[in-house]
A and B are shown apart, each in its own frame.
Chain A
Amino acid sequence: MIIFRHRKTDEASFLSHIDAMRVLQRAMRRMHAEVKYSAGFVPHMLTYSTTPLPLGVQSIAEYFVADSPLTGEEELLERFNASVPEGLKADFAAVTASNPNLAAKVTASLYEINAKEKVSEEVLSILDMSEYYMKQFKKGQELDVEVRKKIYSIEIYDDKLRLIAATGNENLRVDSFVQSLARFGVRACANDVTRIEQLVSVDGGFVAAKEILK
């Protein structure tokens, strides 16, 4: 298996998950990655990813896994970056014997929210609340959703808001969350959010997903 940690920034942040996957699969072809295909009636390339980002949210820590026999991290990284558009370039590559199943292991993400104005400390009061409701669209309907348990930490760091929130089965829709912060005077949209890392639970704490691939 070959694994890449790539970004999804600028124009690429507006690509849907399906579109981004297609771009990456074509990149596999361009880099001659010899990725295996499924054995079904309509064979498809065996590639895997982690929880999709909402449209517009940026990231510097997306993981893409392909069932390829290639080895040599440095060369892989070079070939990958020569085969993807600017907004999807990678900064890390790994080779594993089997599928690391990151989609199941990643339980949280670290996000950075770059608000348009200085963020007031009032926003940190979310951590003192027992419930936190935000508006979220589900199947075309706007619903009030309680998400407090999905918010693990919030801090103000370098004038930016840093958030660790649930990812995976219990996922916090970070685009809806950032809109809900308007009640604290935080002016930001989905494109002002960047996923800095995806996190795996280890011994009651979190480590970056790439650490378990080393």
Chain B
Amino acid sequence: MINLDKLKEILLTVEKPARYLGGEFNLPDTDKPCEERVCLCFADKYEVGMSNIGLRILYHMLNDTEGVVCERSFAPSVDMAEKMRENGIKLFSLETKREFCDFDIVGFSVGFELAYTNILYMMDLAGIPFYSKDRGEEYPLIVAGGPCMVNPAPIADFFDALLIGEGEVNLAQFVALHRECKKSGLSKQEFLKRAAKLEGVYVPSVGGKVKRAVVKDLDKAYFPTKILVPSCDIVHDRSTLELFRGCANGCRFCQACFYYRPIRERKKDMLLKQAKELITNTGYEELSLSSLSTSDYSQLKELVEGLKEEAAKENVKLALPSLRLDSFEAEIYEDTKGASLTFAPEAGTQRLRDVINKNVCDENIYSSLKAALEHGVKNVKLYFMIGLPTETEDDLKGIVDIVKLVSKLHAQYGRSRIINITVSTAVFIPKPLTPFQWEKQITIDEMYEKQEYLKRELRLKNVKYSWHDAKASVIEAALARGDSKQSAVIRRAYETGCVFDSWNECFDYDKWVAAFDYCGIDIREYTGAIPVEKELAWDFIENGVTKNYLLRERERAYAAQTTPNCIGKCNGCGANKLGGCFS
């Protein structure tokens, strides 16, 4: 355990000390007798990590397991890290202030490529050697899971094991097996050999293929309703209900859509029960719904009506996420007193929307916006992507046309006197496990050119335009399709000062470029087009969705042919082989 007196002194000198202390409401009993102690880490600040629903589920799941204690650790801010180093305090867990070496397993949830350097930052602060091969029996098992496991190759060398898929399945089994092996006195390597046979567990030192672990029945899966309620402000400070996993729409740029398949729903009655418990147990003033496409939930109307009734009893606000344009239900929206509306057409023209399989037509956009404005919506947020495969100047012009259409519709039908239109563009990043995984990313110069065009054309009344940082998109793309050679790059980037790369104010492109150069690796190797016959760094993972399906979808993209939503009629992506597919 760290020196608590020293910790208290340094906490008085850093920003937001409550981040480092725990002590939240609904804290599980972490002093109970235990045979296995796990520390779950999130490689970003407390307020980001505590907003992560996956971390919450796994944290409570492990603590609800007899004989297992799970604690948390987050990346401390730079000011705190400096003070910790000055005072010889190693990175610690929030609950019992233990150092990492006092745990059996330290697990990192990795949600974003630009968090890779933060993993090393946390290991460094904890006094843990970066590479798995350099860690002996005296160190805990260092493992990783989370969405970045779609292609863990760039960070695989840092971990003893990678948990591919859903933690309710593989983390639970991994911890249980380790507990048994510890009792039998097995060495770390002996344990890892056995762990490699578990569903969804990949051990880099053992190698081989791995099949992604999925929960087959969401209604039977663990979901906590007595969750931690942070005492300080966090990014998503509310209760969240998870409606379903996977997405039936198949937008061809979207990794989450394919990665989280098969599609599995929670039953409405189960969700209402969970909502009631969450409201009672947390005291949160807001309840939100989580899924990749809420409007595709089969009983959305009935669910929202039930939730509204439950929420009204305790003055709880129901927050609905962005709804798809093609199924926008203004009636539901108005009832939730929504003054703003978020739409993501993603592309400016019908042609390009067909290429990316965003099954939204011009008529949908027109009628949905009209309905929203007639219902008094005064803030419209529009999300687009630039640099999509086959994009032309006409497609950029199409973005401007949609924005102008909102103004025009507001003038004709708007019930609200004012209208604020926020337009945001992200840069297309070819991600693994999508039909666009072989595509090239546009160059930085092209990104700037397109952004400049939109800046110029969107200088319109009541319109605010924001864009995603081009340079960060390049590094994200390079790491997303990276291979094992990149572990050296990530290490070099960290050692030269890259940390909190997903925070605009901290991201330093030049240092990343220098790190790639230092390691003799050309970034363009990873951001350029990849021949379809080339073996990919993530081919060792059986993700459900097959390569053949992705290739077929790619061909349809180039022919501007759409693929319908797979609810009701399976498109044969292959995810149903993992079990439990709703479709």
Contact = CB atoms under 8 A, between A and B. Distances in A.
A111 B382 CA distance: 55
A23 B314 CA distance: 16
Contact of A191 (B12, B24, B27, B314): B12
Contacts of A184: none
Interface in B450-479: none
Contacts of B229: 23, 26
Contacts of A28: 283
A22 B232 CA distance: 8
B70 to A, nearest CB: 18
A14 B9 contact: no
Contacts of B27: 85-86
B280 A26 contact: no
A14 B17 contact: yes
A25 B17 CA distance: 21
A29 B314 contact: yes
B507 to A, nearest CB: 27
Contacts of A191: 8-9, 11-12
Interface string B259-275: 00000000000000000
A15 interface: yes
B18 interface: yes
Contacts of B25: 23, 26-27, 30, 83-85
A191 B4 CA distance: 12
Interface in A15-50: 15-16, 19-20, 22-23, 25-30, 32, 37
B284 interface: yes
A189 B12 contact: yes
Residue among A15, A27, A86 with most chain B CB within 10 A: A15
Interface in A56-104: 56, 83-87
Nearest to B232: A19
B285 A56 contact: no
A11 interface: yes
A143 interface: no
A25 B283 CA distance: 8
Contact of A26 (B11, B12, B22, B285): B285
A30 B281 contact: yes
Contacts of B282: 26, 30
A110 interface: no
B8 A11 contact: no
Contacts of B283: 25-30, 83
A55 interface: yes
A43 B233 CA distance: 20
A4 to B, nearest CB: 15
Interface in B7-54: 8-9, 11-12, 17-18, 21-25, 27
B315 interface: yes
Contacts of B285: 26, 29
A16 B19 CA distance: 11
A10 to B, nearest CB: 7
Contacts of A14: 11, 17-18, 21
Contact of B231 (A23, A56, A189, A190): A23
Contacts of A85: 23-25, 27, 231
Interface in B314-367: 314-315
A190 B12 contact: yes
A199 interface: no
A191 B282 CA distance: 29
Contacts of B11: 14, 56, 191
B232 A55 contact: no
A209 to B, nearest CB: 24
A208 B21 CA distance: 31
A66 to B, nearest CB: 13
Interface string A150-161: 000000000000
A19 B18 contact: yes
A186 interface: no
B231 A55 contact: no
Contacts of B314: 29, 32
B12 to A, nearest CB: 5
A19 B23 contact: no
B23 A10 contact: yes
Given A29-B285, A85-B27, A11 B21 contact: yes
Given A26-B25, A26-B285, A30-B282, A15 B231 contact: yes
Nearest to B316: A29
Given A55-B12, A56-B12, A85-B23, A11 B18 contact: yes
A23 B285 CA distance: 11
A190 B11 CA distance: 10
A108 interface: no
A12 interface: yes
A137 B431 CA distance: 50
A15 B18 contact: yes
Contacts of A27: 25, 283
Contact of A16 (B21, B22, B24, B232): B232
Contacts of B23: 10-12, 85-87
A189 B9 contact: yes
A22 B21 CA distance: 17
A64 to B, nearest CB: 14
A22 B24 CA distance: 12
A12 B283 CA distance: 18
Interface in B132-178: none
Contacts of B21: 11, 14
A22 B9 CA distance: 25
B220 to A, nearest CB: 28
Interface string A185-199: 000011100000000
Contacts of B280: 30
Contacts of A87: 23
A7 B386 CA distance: 54
A193 to B, nearest CB: 11
Contacts of B8: 56, 189, 191
Given A30-B282, A85-B27, A56 B17 contact: yes
Contacts of B233: 19, 22
Contacts of B17: 14, 55-56
A86 B24 CA distance: 8
A190 B25 CA distance: 24
B239 to A, nearest CB: 11
List the 9 closest A-B pairs by CB distance, nearest first.
Answer: A11-B23, A26-B283, A29-B283, A30-B283, A11-B21, A14-B17, A191-B8, A85-B25, A56-B12
15 contacts: A11-B23, A11-B231, A12-B23, A14-B18, A14-B21, A26-B285, A27-B25, A30-B282, A32-B314, A37-B315, A56-B8, A56-B11, A85-B231, A189-B8, A191-B11
Given A26-B285, A83-B25, A175-B12, 14 more contacts: A11-B231, A14-B17, A14-B21, A15-B231, A19-B18, A27-B25, A29-B283, A29-B315, A30-B280, A56-B8, A56-B12, A189-B9, A190-B12, A191-B11
